[in-house]
Amino acid sequence: MKSLEWLALILVVVGAINWGLVGIAQFDLVAALFGGPAAPLARIVYTLVGVAGVTLLGMRLRAPAMAHSH
């Protein structure tokens, strides 16, 4: 797995854990760690998690096409 894919996977897992905590305990870990949901660092983390999700989706959608092209 390439380093970009690993980084994206880690960020998506962070997002999944955060959403799980929001759903189960109404606790936003990212907001708690970085000063609230509107704090610049929290917004950066939220944005990176979103970009990571889209990146992984793109990589997975492209992977089967690349496997058949050889």
Per-residue pLDDT tens digits for 2-52: 898 999 999 999 999 999 999 999 999 999 999 999 999 999 999 999 999
User: How many domains, in total, are found in the chain?
Assistant: 1
Range of 19's domain?
A: 3-68
- Residue 35 contacts residue 41 (beta carbons within 8 Å): yes
Where helices occur in the chain by DSSP H, the ranges are 3-25, 29-34, 40-68
pTM: 0.84
